[in-house]
């Protein structure tokens, strides 16, 4: 068993290996396989096959710069998606406790606690006063 492990380690020397994009691809292929078990769609089989081939191609590639460039692009997209999700999650949590109004003068967002009735709001940015119901 150790000989097989050593041969695999020698084979992988100088190759790119696994990265976050490869892990995402593998999970996506697993999801497609599970979906295909229930749906029995031939197009899903080809997507699974393409995903596996792409994943193994990236893993065994010796072109580090191209694989790193692909991974950086994936991580950039992943970061944008995470930021978008976190922003909407924060807004949803804040919406339960606060009203968020825009200043009619400058467009600055101002957060006012709910349940205070009619309140006079003073914009900290431009100094405009306006009345809103909280």
Question: Where do the domains of the chain lie?
Answer: 2-95
Q: What is the pLDDT of residues 45-79, one digit of tens each?
A: 999 999 999 999 999 999 999 999 999 999 999 99
**Segment 104-131 mean pLDDT:** 90
Percent of the chain whose pLDDT exceeds 90: 67
Q: What is the pTM of this model?
A: 0.70
Tell me the average pLDDT across 102-116: 90
DSSP readout, the chain?
Answer: -HHHHHHHHHHHTTS----HHHHHHHHHHHHHHHHHHHH--HHHHHHHHHHHHHHHHHHH---HHHHHHHHHHHHHHHHHHHHHHHHHHHHHHHHHHEEEEE-TTT--EEEEETT--EEEEE-TTT--EEEEE-
pLDDT value of residue 95 = 85
């Amino acid at each position: 068993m150790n000989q097989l492990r050593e041969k695999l380690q020698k084979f992988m020397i100088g190759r790119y290996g696994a990265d976050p994009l490869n892990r995402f691809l593998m999970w996506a292929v697993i999801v497609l396989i599970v979906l295909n078990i229930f749906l029995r769609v031939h197009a899903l089989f080809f997507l699974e096959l393409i995903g596996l081939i792409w994943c193994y191609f990236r893993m065994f590639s010796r072109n580090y710069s191209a694989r790193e460039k692909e991974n950086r692009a994936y991580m950039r997209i992943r970061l944008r998606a995470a930021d978008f999700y976190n922003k909407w999650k924060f807004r949803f949590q804040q919406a339960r406790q606060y009203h968020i109004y825009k200043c009619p003068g400058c467009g600055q967002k101002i957060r006012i606690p709910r349940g205070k009735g009619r309140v006079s709001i003073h914009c900290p940015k431009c100094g405009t006063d306006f009345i809103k119901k909280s």
